[in-house]
Structure formats: structure tokens, C-alpha cells
Amino acid sequence: MLGAFELDSTLARARIDADDLGITRAAGAIAETAPSSSTTRPPRRAAARSPPGIHVAIVRRADIHRSLCAEISALGGDPYVVRCTGPSKTADVEGILIQGVHGPGEPIAQIVDAW
């Protein structure tokens, strides 16, 4: 159930760690592994480093590629690509798994036919 929320389309750096949901237009995705790529033009490094708990990537069907190599080729020389793949996973020497330190906790891809 959704409570009260505010919709804001601007980058508010002061709130960047407080936002629970973010929606971005993805430049591409990979069919097999489904991470989304967002171009951050002009560069918004703070937004790229701190994806919200729930990240919704809107991706055009035509921008879904078979492999990482195909997607990189399609993106050309864009130096501002950020990959949002979901929560991170790491384990220490004891084998204790820690999940979700970096990356969105819940990545969602919404596929559309056109913008």
C-alpha cells in the first residue's frame, strides 16, 4: 500500500540518500542478465553512485541487446554510462554473505515500445 508521496523530477542532492524510489530512462538493457544502463548526460555522478532502494528503469524494446558486447557497441563512445544491476553481494573469508550494500535493492525494468 502506498502512503503519501511527492513526485519530483529534479535532482535534489540534499535528499539523494533519502529517496526510496527512482525512475530513470535507460539507454539499454541486456536480455540475458537484464541490467539497465543509464546515461547521465550531463553527468550526475552523485545520482549514479546512490541508486534508490527501488529503481525503475524504463527501456525501449529496441534497446534490449543479446549481450554486454552488443550493448556497449550500441552505446558507442558515451563516457557516462552507469550500470544498475541490483543489490551487491559479497562474502568475507568466513563465507558470510552480505547483500545490498551497493546498488538498488529492487531493480525493475519497464519495457516500452516507444518514448
On whether the CB atoms of residues 69 and 18 are closer than 8 A, the answer is no
pLDDT in tens, the chain (115 residues): 556 767 676 766 676 667 677 788 888 888 877 666 766 555 555 455 556 778 888 889 999 999 888 988 888 877 777 777 777 778 878 888 877 666 677 788 889 998 7
End-to-end CA, the chain: 28
Q: How far apart are CA 114 and CA 18, in angstroms?
A: 31
| CATH, domain range 18-112 | 3.40.50.10420
Q: List for the chain the helix, strand, coil content (%; round to 5).
A: 15, 35, 50
Phi-psi sector, 30: left (phi>0), alpha (psi -120 to 50), beta: beta
pLDDT of amino acid 2: 56
